[in-house]
């Protein structure tokens, strides 16, 4: 079957709705119930307290299409963007959840039925993994579902055992992979070639089965639960008969728009993929209340925006373009962009401000960097240059590293950190007042963000500009 990304999202939620699952809206990218988490990175985040038994939502089955960001923090896919066929900083995770209701048999059966009957995927292209000690799951796959044992592998804890933290709920996973064909390099999961892009992981089913105690013992949970996650863009690629996520409808529309705006002819240019990816994470993060700043969530956002702007610069952009993509993004995301659409003007304004600010130093920074790279001895850029680019030209280290990687060079992060530590010590000595400019724009994890109130009156946006000036005067004065 051929399906658009929007149809697929709906098919998933509809299928699990029919199986008695409550349809729940995506939660914010800023996790309000978990201060330990940088950004929402999985569908289960908003149900953490339900899984822990501390919250009862009045249903035991739920289904969502959750917006996720994996940039910074524990799961960081930022450096994969532009390099793999399957990673984004922002993606939608389709999920079905059982809170002490059904367990392994039904979870596996639902997933298999959805893929092979609803979506009619050919069974012989699907591969599965189970946790090496989980005989129960292996038995269900082989004896109840009828999967060929040659297409099942047993995997160790690193990939197939999930835990919420060092203690608490945990349990084995089973994952489903799709074989995109032998013309693509890579091997099945569990083989040395698994990191190739031939066998792509599409769905992870987590069985919350134990409660790990502080002393390491595993107590069986009285009511085991299920948490699953499937990348919408990955399954869309399969349904649309393409290999890379970046070839699906949503991304092709974005990529064409960017190419048109920048006058680029080669639609396969990696920078187009990077920009198309980054506009999604940046726009949705701002819509969820994050603004560019010099620390925490805001700094991750700033880094992503600046990386996108640098890629635009590489493609020859001569004026701000990144913010102009928001409109097209809203159009291609359909109902998933309902909240973003309400905040469109403010999101564009914040992006434009950041882009304009960075544009003032980008060309000069790039000139300095290119010169340093042309004269580089060895294959590692030194900490002093990294620091100067950061301090004078506003180049986050990962941005400089991104440029270096294009030339197969690396950066001396430790050397950079040493310069940073020195500067902090100097700044502390000089600034007895301890003014923290960024405090004004920090998004508190605990406070619920309910949208910017109005374009001009929004305190957050005023703070953004105040913050921008502060950042500039800080670096100008040093």
Using CB under 6 A as the criterion, which residues of the chain lie in contact with ligand ATP when the complex forms? Answer: 70, 77, 86-88, 91, 93, 201-204, 229-231, 233-234
Query: Closest distance between ligand ATP and the C-beta of residue 123, in Å?
Result: 19
The encoded tokens of residue 93 equal 């995770």
String of contacts with Mg ion for each residue 353-392, x by CB under 5 A: ----------------------------------------
Interaction partner, residue 127 (ligand ATP, Mg ion, none; CB < 5-8 Å by kind): none
Pairing of strands 61-69, 90-98: antiparallel
Binding mask 246-285 for Mg ion (x = CB under 5 A): ----------------------------------------
In whole angstroms, how close is the CB of 85 to Mg ion at the nearest point? Answer: 13
Cβ-count burial of 205 within 10 angstroms (0-12 exposed, 13-18 middle, 19+ buried)?
buried
For ligand ATP, give the closer residue by CB, 278 or 349: 278
Q: Binding partner of residue 230 among Mg ion, ligand ATP, none, CB under 5 to 8 Å per kind?
A: ligand ATP
Q: Which residue number, 175 or 288, has a Cβ lying nearer to ligand ATP?
A: 175
Q: Taking CB under 5 A as the rule, which mask of x and - marks residues 104-143 in contact with Mg ion?
A: ----------------------------------------
Contact 277, 81 (CB under 8 A): yes
Helix axes 397-405, 344-374, angle to 10 degrees: 60
Report, in Å, the least distance between residue 429 CB and ligand ATP: 42
Distances (CA, A) of 460 to 304, 353, 428, 456: 20, 13, 27, 10
Backbone angles phi, psi at 316, to 5 degrees: 100, 15
Q: Pick from ligand ATP, Mg ion, none: which does 93 bind, CB < 5 to 8 A by kind?
A: ligand ATP
- CB atoms under 10 Å from CB of 297, counted, come to 24
Task: For residue 174, state whether it binds Mg ion (rule: CB under 5 A).
Answer: no
d(CA 400, CA 383): 11
Q: Which is nearer to ligand ATP, 138 or 202 (CB)?
A: 202
Residue 233 to residue 183: CA distance in whole angstroms: 21
Which of 476, 478, 464 minimizes the C-alpha distance to 361? 476
Question: Measured from the CB of residue 229, what is the shortest distance to Mg ion in angstroms?
Answer: 8
Nearer to Mg ion, 177 or 393 (CB): 177
The span from the CA of 132 to the CA of 138, in Å, is 9
Helix/strand/coil for 235: helix
Closest contact distance (angstroms) between CB of 190 and ligand ATP is 13
Residue 279's closest CA among 238, 323, 338, 234?
A: 323
User: Minimal CA–CA distance to 230: which of 1, 13, 32?
Assistant: 13
Minimum CB–partner distance for residue 306 and ligand ATP (Å): 20
Candidates 204, 281, 400, 460; binder of Mg ion (CB under 5 A) is 204
Task: Give the integer Cα–Cα distance in Å for 354 and 357.
Answer: 5
Give how many residues touch Mg ion by CB under 5 A: 2
The residue (of 147 and 471) whose beta carbon lies closer to ligand ATP is 147
Please state the closest distance from residue 93 (CB atom) to ligand ATP, in A.
5
CB nearer to ligand ATP: pick between 230 and 285: 230
Q: Which does 95 bind (CB under 5 to 8 A by kind): ligand ATP, Mg ion, none?
A: none
Which tokens go with 98? 């059982």
CB closer to Mg ion, 201 vs 398: 201
Q: CA 23 to CA 185: how far, in whole Å?
A: 38
Binds 283, which of ligand ATP, Mg ion, none (CB < 5 to 8 A, cut-off by type)? none
Q: Which residue has the tokens 């999985």?
A: 42
- Distance CA(455)–CA(346), nearest Å, equals 6
Look at residue 203 and give the partner it binds from ligand ATP, Mg ion, none, a contact being a CB closer than 5 to 8 Å depending on partner kind.
ligand ATP
**Using an 8 Å Cβ cutoff, are 55 and 2 in contact?**
no
- Applying CB under 5 A, which residues contact Mg ion? 201, 204
């Amino acid at each position: 079957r051929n399906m658009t990304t929007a149809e697929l999202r709906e098919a998933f939620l509809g299928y699990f709705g029919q199986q008695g699952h409550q349809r729940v809206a995506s939660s914010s990218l800023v996790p309000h119930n978990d201060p330990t988490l940088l950004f929402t990175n999985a569908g289960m985040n908003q149900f953490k307290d339900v899984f822990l038994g501390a919250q009862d939502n009045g249903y035991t089955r739920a289904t969502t299409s959750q917006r996720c960001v994996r940039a910074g923090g524990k799961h960081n896919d930022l450096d994969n963007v532009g390099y793999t066929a399957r990673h984004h900083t922002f993606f939608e995770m389709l999920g079905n959840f059982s809170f002490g209701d059904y367990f392994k048999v039904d979870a596996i059966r639902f997933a298999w039925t959805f893929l092979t009957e609803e979506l009619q995927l050919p069974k012989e292209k699907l591969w599965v993994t189970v946790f090496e000690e989980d005989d129960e799951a292996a038995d269900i796959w082989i004896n109840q579902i009828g999967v060929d044992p040659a297409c099942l592998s047993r995997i160790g804890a690193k990939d197939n055992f999930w835990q919420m933290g060092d203690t608490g709920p945990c349990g084995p996973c089973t994952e489903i992979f799709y074989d995109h064909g032998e013309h693509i390099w890579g091997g099945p999961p569990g083989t040395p070639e698994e990191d190739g892009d031939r066998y792509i992981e599409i769905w992870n089913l987590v069985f919350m089965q134990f409660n790990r105690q502080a002393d390491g013992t595993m107590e069986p949970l009285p009511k085991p639960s299920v948490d699953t996650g499937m990348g919408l863009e990955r399954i869309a690629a399969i349904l649309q008969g393409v290999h890379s996520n970046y070839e699906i409808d949503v991304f092709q529309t974005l990529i064409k728009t960017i190419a048109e705006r920048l006058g680029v002819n080669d639609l396969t240019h990696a920078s187009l993929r990077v920009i198309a990816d980054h506009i999604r994470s940046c726009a949705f993060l701002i819509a969820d209340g994050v603004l560019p700043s010099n620390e925490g969530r805001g700094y991750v956002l700033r880094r992503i925006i600046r990386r996108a702007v640098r890629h635009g610069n590489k493609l020859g952009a001569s004026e701000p373009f990144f913010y102009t993509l928001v409109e097209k993004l809203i159009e291609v995301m359909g109902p998933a962009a309902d909240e973003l659409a309400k905040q469109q003007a403010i999101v564009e304004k914040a992006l434009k401000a950041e882009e304009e600010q960075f544009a003032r130093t980008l060309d000069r920074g790039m000139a300095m960097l290119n010169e340093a790279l042309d004269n580089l001895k060895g294959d590692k850029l030194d900490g002093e240059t990294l620091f100067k680019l950061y301090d004078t030209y506003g180049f986050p280290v990962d941005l400089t590293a991104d440029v270096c990687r294009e030339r197969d060079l690396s950066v001396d992060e430790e050397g950079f950190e040493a310069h940073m530590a020195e500067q902090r010590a100097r700044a502390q000595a000089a600034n007895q007042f301890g003014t923290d400019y960024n405090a004004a724009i920090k998004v508190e994890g605990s406070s619920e963000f309910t949208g910017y109130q109005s374009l001009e009156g929004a305190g957050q946006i005023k703070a953004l500009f105040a913050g921008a000036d502060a950042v500039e005067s800080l670096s100008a004065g040093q």
